């Protein structure tokens, strides 16, 4: 069950490790680049009645490389009173959390980094590590706006992690496993009331959980309406204020790569992941799936990810920012009770049927 079986060759350990690292880089950077070009450049421009970048390459598609080149050649500056080591460490912690997150996402029947028994739990745990990086980025910048942004981010991410975990519990109860690969199988091999041509994507049975999860993801990614930590009209740019050049680039990649990875996890948990309903091709278990799904699977997952990110960005470009107290009230008084009720109903129905 490794990438080596995908290539039908018995690779040595170092080659497998190299493949995994390369696969991880692609799985993090490709969605990030696609999201930035497709949504941040083009969709935002369309919604604001302008063209966006048009000069570099056809339809401005090379603009991304120009931007990266610009950031990379900028001078590496930091404030005189900053805590230099921690200032440099902070963006790396944020990016590392993204790379740790992508490890559990299944891309195909054999195209997985690791078949992890407690995959969902692991994903929720490592995603919380990025809070640490954001918090110390705000502190080490020696800037009041940065510190305020860091504190706001910590309060917000902690508050929205709870509904996220609780929303996932419903899926875990229904699938009976925390293994993301098994969750994909359970959705696509399942049936709704004996009607199996669509499988059983949990977006239908766990619709409440899906909505709560997507709202929590929006908040975890600090996208508008939940962008208080980097509120540009109040805090300059929050915890990122003092960062420039390639250190800002790391934060930027981290933000959109995490958006991609979280959308992949949402697709895996609620939209059926990499698979198509097994009844379409007469598959029954994961072992009977044809090998070509290892190539088509990642593309299907990528398409679903783009669709999920589209909704995240649509909301981002459409709504104004929450107020800080509204944000906390919404998490603690609306999302958490709703997701707890969802868990109870799911558990009762699971036992009843």
Partner 1 sequence: MFASDVLVAQNIGFAIIATIMVVGALRVVTTSNVVHAALWLVVVLAGAAAQYVLLAAEFVAITQVLVYIGAVMVLFLFGTMLTRARIGAESDLNNKNWFFGIPVALALFVAMAMALDSGFGSQKMPADPAVATTQEISDQIFGPYLLPFWALSFVLLAAVVGAIVLARRD
The site for partner 1 (CB under 8 A) is made up of: 81-83, 86, 116-118, 121-122, 124-126, 128-129, 131-132, 135-136, 138-140, 142, 147, 150-151, 154-155, 158, 161, 178
> CA-to-CA distance for 163 and 200, rounded, in angstroms?
23
- Cα angle for residues 76, 134, 311 (degrees, 5° grid): 105
Question: Please, what is the minimum distance in Å from the beta carbon of residue 118 to partner 1?
Answer: 5
Which helix (H) or strand (E) covers residue 18, if one does?
helix 13-35
- Report the residue number, 159 or 184, with the smaller CB distance to partner 1: 159
Question: Please, what is the minimum distance in Å from the beta carbon of residue 83 to partner 1?
Answer: 5
Question: Please, what is the minimum distance in Å from the beta carbon of residue 117 to partner 1?
Answer: 5
Long-range contacts of 318-325 (CB under 8 A, 24+ apart): 318/47, 319/224, 319/225, 320/224, 320/225, 321/224, 321/225, 321/226, 321/227, 321/228, 321/231, 322/225, 322/226, 322/228, 324/152, 324/228
Provide the CA 77 distance to its chain's centre, in angstroms. Answer: 30
- Cα angle for residues 307, 49, 236 (degrees, 5° grid): 80
Residues facing residue 192 across a β-bridge? 195
- Report the residue number, 172 or 268, with the smaller CB distance to partner 1: 172
> CA-to-CA distance for 59 and 57, rounded, in angstroms?
6
- Report the residue number, 122 or 262, with the smaller CB distance to partner 1: 122
> CA-to-CA distance for 188 and 340, rounded, in angstroms?
26
> CA-to-CA distance for 339 and 120, rounded, in angstroms?
17
Question: Please, what is the minimum distance in Å from the beta carbon of residue 84 to partner 1?
Answer: 10
- Report the residue number, 165 or 271, with the smaller CB distance to partner 1: 165
Question: Please, what is the minimum distance in Å from the beta carbon of residue 298 to partner 1?
Answer: 26
2: tokens are: 């490794």
Nearest to 28 by CA among 100, 125, 127: 100
- Report the residue number, 85 or 292, with the smaller CB distance to partner 1: 85
DSSP letter at 142 equals: T
Residues facing residue 195 across a β-bridge? 192
Question: Please, what is the minimum distance in Å from the beta carbon of residue 154 to partner 1?
Answer: 5
> How many other CB atoms are there within 10 angstroms of residue 304's CB atom?
20
- Report the residue number, 268 or 305, with the smaller CB distance to partner 1: 268
Question: Please, what is the minimum distance in Å from the beta carbon of residue 206 to partner 1?
Answer: 20
- Report the residue number, 139 or 274, with the smaller CB distance to partner 1: 139
- Report the residue number, 112 or 271, with the smaller CB distance to partner 1: 112
Question: Please, what is the minimum distance in Å from the beta carbon of residue 353 to partner 1?
Answer: 21
Nearest to 183 by CA among 250, 283, 275: 275
């Amino acid at each position: 069950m490794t990438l080596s079986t995908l290539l039908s060759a018995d690779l040595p350990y170092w080659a497998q490790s190299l493949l995994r690292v390369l696969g991880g880089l692609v799985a993090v950077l490709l969605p990030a680049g696609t999201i930035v070009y497709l949504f941040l450049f083009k969709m935002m421009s369309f919604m604001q009645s302008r063209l966006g970048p048009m000069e570099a390459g056809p339809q401005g598609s090379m603009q991304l490389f120009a931007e990266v080149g610009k950031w990379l050649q900028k001078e590496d500056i930091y404030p005189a009173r900053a805590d230099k080591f921690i200032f440099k460490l902070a963006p790396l912690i944020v990016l590392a959390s993204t790379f740790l997150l992508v490890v559990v996402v299944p891309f195909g029947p054999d195209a997985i980094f690791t078949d992890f028994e407690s995959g969902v739990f692991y994903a929720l745990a490592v995603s919380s590590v990025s809070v640490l990086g954001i918090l110390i980025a705000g502190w080490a910048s020696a800037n009041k706006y940065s510190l305020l942004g860091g504190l706001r981010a910590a309060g917000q991410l902690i508050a929205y992690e709870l509904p996220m975990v609780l929303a996932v519990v419903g899926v875990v109860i229904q699938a009976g496993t925390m293994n993301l690969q098994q969750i994909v199988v359970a959705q696509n091999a399942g049936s709704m009331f004996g009607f199996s041509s669509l499988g059983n994507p949990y977006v239908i049975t766990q619709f409440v959980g899906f909505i709560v999860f997507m709202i929590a993801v929006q908040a975890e990614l600090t996208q508008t309406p939940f962008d208080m930590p980097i509120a540009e009209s109040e805090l300059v740019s929050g915890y990122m204020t003092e960062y420039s050049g390639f250190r800002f680039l790391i934060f930027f990649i981290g933000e959109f790569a995490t958006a991609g990875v979280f959308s992949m996890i949402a697709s895996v948990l609620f939209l059926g992941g990499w698979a198509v309903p097994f009844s379409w091709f007469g598959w029954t278990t994961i072992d009977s799936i044809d090998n070509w799904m290892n190539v088509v699977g990642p593309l299907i997952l990528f398409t679903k990810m783009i669709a999920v990110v589209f909704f995240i960005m649509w909301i981002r470009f459409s709504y104004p920012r929450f107020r800080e107290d509204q944000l906390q009230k919404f998490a603690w008084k609306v999302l958490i009770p709703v997701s707890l009720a969802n868990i109870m109903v799911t558990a009762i129905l699971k036992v009843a049927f």
